[in-house]
Amino acid sequence: MKRILFLTLVVAGAVAAWFVSAPRPAYDRAQWQAIEQGGDVERGKTVFYAGGCPSCHMTPGQEDRLKLGGGLELKSPFGSFYAPNISPHPKDGIGEWKVADLANAMISGVSPQGEHYYPAFPYTSYHLVTLADVRDLTAFIRTLQPVEGKARDHDLPFPFNIRRTLGLWKALFMDFSTFAPDPARSAELNRGRYLVEGPGHCVECHSARNALGFIPPGSRFAGGPDPEGRGWVPNITPDASGLAKWSAKDIAELLNTGFTPDYDSVGAGMASVVKNMAQLTADDRAAMAAYLKSLPPRPSPPKPPKAEKPAS
């Protein structure tokens, strides 16, 4: 009886895990016409740059940030991810996608084929993007040049190469809430919160993660190891170890030009981010800066000690 009970519990647990891990798109593609109509190209351009789309999806090795053939390698502790082609190419890109498909990808992390996307595609922040902005973004992408060629498959070891397990990760860690303006805050702070927390997905790089790739609440925006293993990402809260001495104007200036108050300039991945943020309006950059200054100060996590050089 004990053995039968044990096997029953194992089977029941497996069935429950299989059910919980099922992809759950926010929108039914069969009803796509209800949300397809409209779309403002100019507003979509703003969403495109606010969301950092060219930084990951532009074809490596060329300068045109609107050629979205993908292929950029994104290294992580779980393996290497390769950004896909999101140009409007009908076969190699997303030219056949409806607004519902892009909405499901960004808001639910689910592909048109009904599979989970890996959170290297930051739907963990994009879920806050409004449907209207997704519609506008779709309209803008459809105006771009189609690019031939698909990116290579992700290079992930077992068990990370099993997409279905991402459903369990989502069930444990994902917050699929929508964006709601805070009536106690100004319009500027609400706009800044939307841009920083949603399309800007600033928290994804400027936070430390645990062993399962989750960002604990106390680590949000406090900096930490670069997700790709290339040094340290700075704290962007108003803590002494972060932006305490920076004014909102200083932050807005960096987002526009890449220059710090010390007349230094940002590099690496942040330089690409600045190219995106420079395409926003001055009001949007000011709103982002104001929101970052309103965050609760959080101390940076301790950096690992530097390895000592062997004696010569």
Higher-confidence residue of 146 and 230: namely 146
- One domain, residues 144 and 32: yes
The number of helix segments (H) and strand segments (E) in the chain equals 12, 4
Long-range contacts formed by 141-145: CB under 8 A, 24+ apart: 141/44, 141/48, 141/68, 141/86, 141/87, 141/88, 141/94, 142/88, 142/95, 143/41, 143/88, 144/66, 144/67, 144/68, 144/87, 144/88, 145/66, 145/67, 145/87, 145/88
| 178-208 tens-digit pLDDT | 899 999 999 999 999 999 999 999 999 999 9
- Residue 311 covered by a domain: no
Number of domains observed in the structure of the chain: 2
Q: Band of the pLDDT at 26, cuts 50, 70, 90?
A: confident
DSSP 185-243: S-HHHHHHHHHHHTTT-GGGTSB---TTS---GGGTTSBEE-TTSSSEEPP-SSSTTTT
- One domain, residues 192 and 144: no
- Residue 17 covered by a domain: no
- One domain, residues 167 and 43: yes
- One domain, residues 218 and 117: no
Q: What confidence score (pLDDT) does residue 18 get?
A: 46
Q: What confidence score (pLDDT) does residue 36 get?
A: 86
- One domain, residues 167 and 195: no
Q: What confidence score (pLDDT) does residue 162 get?
A: 87
Q: What is the mean pLDDT of the chain?
A: 88
Q: What confidence score (pLDDT) does residue 11 get?
A: 47
Q: pTM for this one?
A: 0.88
pLDDT beyond 60 at 70: yes
What CATH number does the domain containing 141 carry? Answer: 1.10.760
- One domain, residues 85 and 210: no
The average pLDDT across 237-249 equals: 94
- Residue 285 covered by a domain: yes
Full domain range(s) for residue 286: 187-294
Percent helix, strand and coil across the chain, each rounded to 5? 40, 5, 55
